[in-house]
Structure 1
Amino acid sequence: MKKLALLLFFIGGLVSAQAQESISTDSINKTNKGLLLKLGLNLVDSTGKYNPFEFLSSFDEMAFSENFNIELEYRFSNSLSLSVAWSNNKWKANKGRIDGAIIPSDVKYSAIDLDLKYYYNQSFGGWFDRNDWLELYLHGGVGRVSQADQSGMTLNVGPGVNIWFSDQFGLNLNGTGKWTLNKEEYNSNHFQYSTSLMYRFASRDKDDDNDGVRNKMDDCPNVSGVAQNNGCPEEADSDGDGVVDAMDKCPEAYGTDNGCPEVLMEADTDGDSVLDSADKCPKIKGLPTNNGCPLLDSDNDGIVDVADKCPNVPGVESNNGCPYEEIEIGSTKTNLNIVSKGILFNSGNSNFRQESYPVLIKVVEMMKQHPEAQFKIEGHTDSSGGYDSNKRLSQTRANAVRNYLISSGIPSENLIAEGFGETRQVASNLTGEGRRLNRRVEIIRTK
């Protein structure tokens, strides 16, 4: 009696759902409409127990051999579909159990079922509306079952779920309770469970933009429009180029390139980003700020005239484009020697003070302007410490400068280092500033 009440309740729910479908203004789901093919495996439970989950603990007693199932389902509305399925299985002799009894020989199982399915997940709204990869349904119908040499009609009812991995492929899980109408020895009530891979055939009358015009007749299948305009929006085409304003990137100008006039690309022969038509030096790479021409360098010293203080005489960058003056042999008043006095040391050692490095770099540049010249590097100290120790310290300082110049590319044979200790002071040793100036190096050209 309870089973009959359950069946009537299920059928009543389907009838009620169909009534709601018939009065809905949005009952046809154009995306879901179409044909589904399902191929999979099934398990038949006829142990005689009424718990549908009993198969979890007594799997060996159920039919699960030579099993397969094939199903075709046609989804014809938002919530309803009709399916036909064929399944096959077998109980093994002395192991399978039907109605609680071990069977003495193999028993084959075959069934053909016709079911009506009701998809109810959209009734919940919310999360289910936003995640259409999951579909829940109830199904009910009739079937014909053959077991051993016996066969009969069944009433079927159960739940199921579709899990979609893509628009066309998915996984189906299905459970069915089957009530036999003419019971015999091996033809009794039972449960059947299945899992199947699904393939959804694309609907021939699909309407992606939901404007009521099917894709095959829609000139704008991805933009909602009107039937009078072949599925395209009924909008103005201000420039008359055949591209409606809503899709025209240049709605006020006639054109064929997305509604815009075609633009002829101008040449840029020298690749300086200045088109030849505006480039005053079209074959020489220049600057956009100089009309495509390079900046002038009259003396070809690599320093453009606007930054060259001697634009007509080749020079060096460190001297703003001007050459260094000739270094007179034996003179202590040359620019080189004046600059070299800026090479300073910490007290008591031959370590350069930090401010000496820019001076050393400038000395290297001046010497390289005279590759044939030879130079004497003189080391000097303040009067702190003993005479002999200052003599040795001045020599190590001269050697330190010589080593730096050699490492910077000055030939070693062009350099001589000599220390003079405290014998040649240039400032008073009574003050810290004076002693700092006395700790120095001078460079004099000797040849």
Structure 2
Amino acid sequence: MKFVILLFALSLAALATAQHASSSHLVCYYDGNSYVREGLSKLHTNDLEPALQFCSHLVYGYASISQTSNKLVSPNDKLDLDIGAGLYRTVTGFKKKYPHLKVLLSVGGDRDEVDPDNNKYLTLLESANARIPFINSAHSLVKTYGFDGLDLAWQFPKNKPKKVHSGIGKFWKGFKKIFSGDFVVDEKAEEHKEEFTALVRELKNALRPDGYLLGLSVLPNVNSSLFYDVPAIVNNLDYVNLHAYDFQTPERNPEVADFPAPIYELNERNPESNINFQVQYWLNNHCPATKINVGIAAYGRAWKLTKDSGLTGLPPVVETDGVAPAGTQTQKPGLLSWPEVCGKLPNPANQHLKGADGPLRKVGDPTKRFGNYAYRSADDSGENGIWVGYDDPDTAANKAAFVKSRGLGGVALVDLSFDDFRGACTGDKYPILRAIKFKL
């Protein structure tokens, strides 16, 4: 009898585990900008399809807000209305072949040009009348093109970069703070928090009758405590994607290279700049764990090393010189897609090359807490030095394991176009996406 009871209990536990695994979200972002890139970084919709068997949600972005009308409009000035509409219909058309897939249209996502002195995302919030055309146009776009809902990647002001201090530096920073006070990100943050709460409520009321989803993407370096009243908005959201990466970037921190997206806090670092802190904040503010998806970037951040940066590569690396040169595919200084990073790691094709083409030295993460990095010290002339912090399939799987251990909703991969969608590195297409799916 005891054996039967034990067997029954084990069966229930296995069923619960299976149900949780099957219900884990794998949210995949597809940036429409990748459709108009040139060369090997161009992600055509045909190349997108192999990923969709793994994705529970596809977030297509990024739609923009019109400065004059406050309406939601076509996402890319390089795409005319016909092409934009064609992409809308193409991505939502994937649902016919993949009926499990939910496709959402995203607004903002740091792709929209915003005047810091006249942020249209903030001015829209400040007027109930301005929110009406936005809500109506958003509902119309979702309905017209067959999306399953809307994703709010709202462009709030970013945190000021925080430098790494130690010893006397930390003391001096604290001393100056007595007289200078904290850096003010947004003088009307409390008002904007209340107004965003109203927008979320009004949007959900407009979308609910048709059963449309409403999701939130918390963009990198946006202070959740300033702009999100978590208990007030969470019941009107179907998910929250925490883009917990880019804590350190060569644009924000040009003189110090460091891990862009650690899981846990590192010594002598900002205690907020890690995944665990960001997740715990939302949990502490009564967001259900199952609604939280942890964002993972499929790209690395790259700094230029100088002769004064040292030879060890151990982060934080000081005396760096801002962004490293652009990769051959994405052509964006300071950012390398996973296949670009992979191509710089030691392999038969580059083992005998020197200078800017020579291989980087890879340093793994046996602790499974912080992520990988790779580097090449500057040469005697002070050139060709580079330091890259990145996630690969192994570290992405570590983060998926963290998500699973905490009982969170799932993972959000940003962006499919930065994964190795051609299989150039190992022959497997979308290796980061696959590693996450396998672990979940």
Normalised by the length of structure 1, the TM-score is 0.19
- Higher-Rg member (1/2): 1
Normalised by the length of structure 2, the TM-score is 0.19
Of Structure 1 and Structure 2, the greater helix share is in 2
Of Structure 1 and Structure 2, the greater strand share is in 1
